[in-house]
């Protein structure tokens, strides 16, 4: 059971990755069935007025898939939760809120991650430092390069920290995504570092023999063509088969 009622988990949701969302939620529920696990649904956020950024859809360079474009950033959005993730402190309101992309599996109890929380930090994450490349990922979506890439794919928010009060709904809806993903509302000393096993990016991360606590299929989940044989794919498929639909 979770140690505090003021802990919550928020998973990005994209209708194209509904199976991945259920796998991620299932991977959490096998460790803890009490902590709230919420989806970040773009349509609902637009419906209640919390998300009003202009988005357009164009045909991808492969000529077969649609590519979402964030108009303010003038940049592609690979998922529906590319920007909406930064509404988590507003949605959670208080306590510690853990955000994760939906293309993950938890291999250890998320309460172990909450136990790493440092009250003087506004946000904690794995601070990746690896070469970035352009190209395609997932179902033909564009790869983009920006500072602190993938830091925001797993974030532990201290919703009560005064620095996070700067992250307003208006800011989330008006600033370029690249600024939000580099945590522009925070000073560097307000960002804490999580151990690297808590966001192991398949194909990009190295742990020197450690076992990943969160596996992140950042290029594409194993049910997408071309990603069936990647590391931890069989573990993902076993979880997918166990999901009650």
Contact 94, 159 (CB under 8 A): yes
In this structure, the number of other CB atoms found within 10 A of the CB of residue 177 comes to: 22
What CATH number is associated with residue 136? 3.90.550.10
Q: Which of residues 3 and 51 earns the better pLDDT score?
A: 51
pLDDT in tens, 171-182: 999 999 999 999
By C-alpha distance, which of 121, 49, 128, 136 is closest to 84? 49
Please indicate, yes or no, if residue 207 is contained in any of the structural domains. Answer: yes
- Per the listing, tokens 């809806």 go with 173
Please indicate, yes or no, if residue 144 is contained in any of the structural domains. Answer: yes
Please indicate, yes or no, if residue 1 is contained in any of the structural domains. Answer: no
The residue range of the domain holding 172 is 7-242
Task: Please give the tally of structural domains in the chain.
Answer: 1
Please indicate, yes or no, if residue 97 is contained in any of the structural domains. Answer: yes
89-to-103, 108, 156 alpha-carbon distances in Å: 21, 24, 10
Please indicate, yes or no, if residue 169 is contained in any of the structural domains. Answer: yes
pTM for this model (two decimals)? 0.90
Q: Is the pLDDT of residue 2 over 60?
A: no
Please compute, for residue 84, the number of CA atoms within 13 A of its CA located in the half-sphere on the CB side.
27
pLDDT in tens, 75-134: 999 999 999 999 999 999 999 999 999 999 999 999 999 999 999 999 999 998 866 555
Please indicate, yes or no, if residue 168 is contained in any of the structural domains. Answer: yes
Please indicate, yes or no, if residue 51 is contained in any of the structural domains. Answer: yes
How large is the angle between the packed helices 233-242 and 18-29, nearest 10 degrees?
Answer: 90
How far apart CA 230 and CA 222 sit, in angstroms, is: 7
Instruction: Report pLDDT for 140.
Output: 46
Please indicate, yes or no, if residue 170 is contained in any of the structural domains. Answer: yes
How far apart CA 221 and CA 227 sit, in angstroms, is: 6
């Amino acid at each position: 059971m979770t140690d505090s009622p003021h802990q919550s988990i928020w998973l990005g949701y994209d209708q194209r990755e509904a199976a991945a969302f259920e796998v991620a939620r299932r991977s959490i529920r096998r460790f803890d069935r009490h902590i709230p696990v919420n989806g970040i649904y773009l349509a609902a956020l637009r419906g209640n007025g919390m998300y009003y950024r202009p988005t357009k859809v164009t045909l991808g360079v492969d000529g077969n898939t649609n590519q979402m474009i964030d108009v303010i950033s003038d940049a592609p959005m690979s998922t529906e939760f590319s920007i909406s993730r930064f509404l988590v402190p507003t949605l959670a309101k208080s306590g510690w809120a853990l955000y994760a992309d939906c293309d993950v599996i938890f291999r250890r109890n998320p309460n172990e991650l909450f136990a790493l929380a440092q009250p003087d930090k506004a946000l904690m994450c794995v601070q990746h430092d690896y070469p970035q490349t352009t190209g395609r990922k997932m179902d033909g979506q564009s790869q983009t390069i920006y500072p602190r890439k993938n830091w925001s794919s797993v974030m532990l928010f201290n919703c009560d920290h005064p620095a996070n009060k700067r992250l307003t709904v208006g800011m989330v809806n008006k600033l370029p995504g690249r600024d939000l993903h580099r945590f522009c509302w925070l000073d560097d000393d307000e960002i804490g570092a999580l151990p690297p096993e808590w966001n192991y990016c398949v194909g990009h991360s190295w742990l020197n023999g450690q076992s990943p606590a969160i596996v992140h299929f950042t290029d594409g989940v194993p049910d997408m063509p071309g990603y069936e044989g990647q590391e931890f794919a069989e573990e993902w498929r076993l979880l997918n088969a166990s999901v009650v639909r």
